[in-house]
Each structure stands twice: as C-alpha cells, then as structure tokens.
Amino acid sequence: MIANELSVALSSVARYSKVPAPDDAEMNETSSTRRAALQQQAVAWLVRLKSGAADETVLAEFENWRSQTLEHEQAYRDVETLWQQLPQPLLADRQRRRALAARQCRVRRLKRGLGVAAAAALLLSVMGGFYPDYLQHPLADYRTRIGEQTSITLADGSIAHLNTDTAIDVSINANERRIELLRGEAEFDVAHDEHKPFRVVSGSMSTEALGTRFIVRYDGQAGAVTLLQGKIRSSRPSAHGAQADSATLQPGQQLTFNAEMLGVPQAVELSNADAWRRGRLLMNFVPLKQVIAEINRYRRGQIRLLDDELAEREVNIAVDIKQIDAWLEALQQTLPVKVIHAGPLVFLQS
C-alpha cells in the first residue's frame, strides 16, 4: 500500500519539481524530455527495489541501468532523496484520510442507527398499541397471547389453566410449590400434597391451598381470588411491619385485592366466574362498559364506547369468546346501539 502511494507521489514530484541537471546547463526541450523519462524510470526502479521482491537478477539489471550514464545515476539519487523525505508526510496524509473515512463511516452508522432507532420506536409503538401481550413478560415460564387459552400439567400433577393474555413463573422444589401469576388469569386444580404447600403469588398477595380448585386474576395492580372448591387462605403483608392481612375463603366466595388492602370475601356465581373455561363470558346486570372491558381482554382490536349513557346501561350477556364479532352485530338488534368498524377497532354509539 505504502509503495503504491509513494510511487504516485514520487512520479508527481519528479514530473513537476525542477531537479538540477548534472552539468547545470540550460535545458532544451529534448534534454528536458530525456530527464523526465529518466526520473520516471528511477521511480519505477526504486519502487521495485523497495518492494521486497527484488532478487539477484533484478539487482543486476538495476546496476546495469544505473551505470549507463551520469544522468541515470543522478536521476536515481534525486528520486532516492525524495523517497527519504516523503514517508512521514505521506504517512500523515494517509492517517488523515483514514481518520476522515472513519468519521464519515461513523456518521453513516449514526444516520443508520438513528434510522433503525426511529423504526424500532415506531415498531414498539405499534406493538405496544396492537400487540401489548408480546411485550409483557417475554421470559415467563408459560404465557398465552390475547385470545389464547391453554392448560399446563405441572411437575407435581397440579394443572394450571391459563386464560387470555396470561403469564406465570413456576417453581416446584422439596419445600413448596410456588406459582407467580405475573399477569392475567388462571384456574389452578391443585394436586394434594400435605408436605408441600401450593402458593400462588400475585403482586404482594399470596394464596395458599391444599387439594383445591381456585381462580386468581391479576392485572399488575389489582386482582381477585375466587374459590371453586376446597379451602384457601389469602394474605398480604401490612405496612410498617404489622401483622399480615389475611382472609380464608369458602367455595363460592371471591376476594378482591390491591397493593394497599384486601377486600371482604363476597359470594359470587361460580358458573359465571369460570365460564371462560367453557369458552364463554357470562355477566348479569352489569354496566355495558364493564362488559366491553371484559370482552377487550379477548380481542386484539379494541372496542370503544362513544356514549357515556350507553356505557352505564345495565345488560345481561352470554358471549361465545370465539364469536365476539357476531355478538357485536347481534347487539344492534337488542340495544339502541350502532356498531362502527374502523380497521381493527370497533366503536359503539347510541
């Protein structure tokens, strides 16, 4: 690389620099042309000799060329002098050009990086709005997407039925069986083992059971525990190190909770509480806004209410989770409501 750079530089200098003639006589056009030719030959010989590939034959040819006349000798000495003077400036110039190229490369990478960052931000925005379940707890042991349901047989024989948009972590060891409900809703059919308690943790709430069927629902801030069969005890630590809040549930009872407190156990209709296990949503005498909020858990394209009065209207529903759009169309036949489709979104108005 350096030999090529020096060859070009020496050729340029030899062409445009005025190197004194051996006899310092006034040059005519013929002698000037001859001197320029000798200088170019001298450059070629110097580069060839410095390339590291010159053998004895090449050296012999060079000595034969150099000894032809004093002009040949002088041309070579002049070029050799330039050779000694040029490496540092050329090296500095090469370093300058490399630094410039590196800066240009960094600028191009930065521009590409900004473009990639903008695209990534847009992608995350789209995913956050339309695919929030893909960004929630990606490393959970088990997950379901929006609209999905699945059942998992755990190592101890217990079964966890995961509802839509749910994530859990599972830890089963010699001392306990611990399930962390990170998000969503799950029904647990617990295998009896009196030596290893079965606990479901959701936020600060812990629910312990032995030989029991129960449902836990948690949205990251608040939730509910519903006992279907058996007996469970739910508890959470109180502030300032006080004794933990706790409650024991009987079948058919539900306990709500949040980060600050436990609710009071309330009776619920079990056929409605676990209807999702049968692919249905059953709700009686509840505001339409509550129905829509529940349905939106199963539908990636959200439904929005545009009328406050309509939102507060009490309804009874029985919805097939797989036929939500059909239910929306039928809704227009039973309520004074208009269904407006806008891409993946649906708006309801009076």
pLDDT tens, position by position, 245-303 = 889 999 999 999 998 888 999 999 999 999 999 999 999 999 999 999 999 999 988 99
Do 223 and 215 form a contact (C-beta atoms < 8 A)? no
For all residues of the chain together, what is the average pLDDT? 81
Q: Sorting pLDDT into bands at 50, 70 and 90, what band is 134?
A: low
Count of positions (residues) in the chain: 350
Q: Sorting pLDDT into bands at 50, 70 and 90, what band is 45?
A: confident
- How big, in percent rounded to 5, are the helix, strand and coil portions of the chain? 45, 30, 30
User: pLDDT: is 232 or 118 the higher one?
Assistant: 232
* pTM of the complete model: 0.62
Say whether pLDDT at 16 is over 60. no
Mind listing the pLDDT tens digit for each residue in 155-199?
A: 999 999 999 999 999 999 989 999 999 999 999 999 988 889 999
pLDDT of residue 292: 95
Closest CA to 187 of 272, 262, 273: 273
pLDDT of residue 7: 53
